[in-house]
Structure 1
Amino acid sequence: MAFGVVLFTLLVQGISMDRLIKVLQLVQRSELQDEYEKRHARFVAARSAYEYLRRMNQQGLISEHTWQRMASIMEKQNEALVDAVRDVVTSDPAMEAEELDTARREALRAQRSALTGLLRDGVISEETYSQLVSEVDVALSEQSLSWPELLQYGSTKDINQLITAIIQDQDLEQVQSVLGKLGYTVTHLPSTGGFLSQRNVTLLIGIPEGQAETAVKALQAICRRRVEFVSSFLPTASFPAALPTSVTVSGATIFTFEVESYDEF
């Protein structure tokens, strides 16, 4: 068996992985995927040609007259190619969701890389880096996420649930950042609660179908239980003296409601 594995490895060394997958039929591609690939490649090639001629004009290698004539023609061609790509992508919701999710993840990875650069250059502290990177990692941890805001672009939002979450005031910024990266629109209202009468925040989050678990997991990951200290007076002291008393504060209180209709103003 070991000999067979080694022989197989040697034989396929000169074969590209893409060709091997096609030969073995490990992945079945639809005609729509092939059409998308062709249209997208045409657009990328045309855009590259446009940028190349633009640089030639800036460097004085072609005249302004020639560039303006060519630019007008190529811009119209590129607009048509953009529409062609959009038509094939929007005709298959699964393909659109996959590409949007890929773009979302690449954007998050770029943010993580930028944060690492800021830490390396001494612009931010380790503590700030850890907090901000954890926000990105929470968003990256979601598998095959359909980004609600992008998927609903240009159409009526299919909001069928409303999450009401009560969180601590100090968690608000991080919660908004993470939920924003996940694509949710959040409305927050100031409130006060608990026997400590501390400030907290009530969040209203519109949830598209099938996305409630993702939002709840994100809230639970960010809003952790913590210990606060309040002062009480020593009953046996001859003078007023404060005694620190520890109190455990819950992370987030979450309620989920079904809604019949959803409107934005």
Structure 2
Amino acid sequence: MKLVYAIIRNDNEDDVTSALMQEGFTVTRLSTTGGFLRKGSTTLMIALQDEQLEQCIDIIKQQSGSRQEITVNMPYVSGSSLMNYTTMPMNVEIGGATIMVVPLERFEKY
């Protein structure tokens, strides 16, 4: 058995979760926060049999495709002073997923 952790953007969470559940996967959702852009994200936990792994990863990839977005880094306050730098629009890649797979010794559902 395997445990899949998939970290996805909140924008993609409904599509990914619905597609996984439609294929019979049991999904647990956790609200999390990303680091670089400090945007909301969702971490999905999916317990599955080894032979289901590739199907699960394919569904996640299909439903959480990456795309480009322009964002502006805003200055932030550090202590009592405002960090002084020019805000510039940046083209960043968003979406996609971070997927981690770990062995699972035991899984019980009551």
TM-score normalised by structure 1 residue count: 0.35
Q: How many residues align?
A: 99
1:259 aligns with 2:100: no
Q: Which residue of 1 aligns with 2:38?
A: 197
Matched residue, 1:230: 71
Partner-residue secondary structure (3-state), 2:51: coil
- What is the distance in 2 between the residues matched to 1:163 and 1:222? 16
Separation (CA, whole Å) in 1 of partners of 2:105 and 2:73 = 48
Corresponding residue number in structure 2 for 1:247:
92
The equivalent residue for 2:25 is 184
**Matches of 2:73 and 2:27 in 1, distance apart?**
37
Is residue 170 from structure 1 mapped to residue 15 from structure 2 by the alignment? Answer: no
Counterpart Cα distance in 2 of 1:181 and 1:232: 38
Q: How far is 1:228 from its partner? A: 2.2
Match of 1:207 in 2: 48
CA deviation after TM superposition for structure 1 residue 232, in Å: 4.5
Letter aligned with residue 93 of structure 2 = T
For 2:107, the aligned partner's letter is Y
Q: CA deviation at 1:189?
A: 0.2
> Would the alpha carbon gap of residues 232 and 180 (structure 1) be closer, same or farther in structure 2, given more than 3 Å must change?
closer
> Which amino acid in structure 1 is aligned with residue 89 of structure 2?
P
Secondary structure (helix, strand or coil) at the match of 1:175 reads: helix
CA distances 1:215-258 after superposition (whole Å, capped 9, x unpaired): 0011111111111222247xxxxxxx964321112500001111
TM-score (norm 2): 0.81
Rate the CA distance shift 1:192–1:222 in 2: closer, same or farther, 3 A.
Answer: same
Query: Which of 151, 161, 183 is residue 2 of structure 2 equivalent to?
Result: 161
RMSD of aligned Cα (Å): 1.8
The secondary structure found in structure 2 opposite 1:263 is coil
Gaps of 5+ in 2: 75-85
Alignment partner, residue 157 of structure 1: none
2:68–2:93 CA contact under 8 A, matched in 1: yes
What is the identity, as a one-letter code, of the residue corresponding to 1:258? P
Larger radius of gyration: 1
Identity %: 31
Q: Which has the higher contact order (CA 8 A, sep 6+)?
A: 2
The CA distance in 1 between the partners of 2:101 and 2:109, in whole Å, is 19
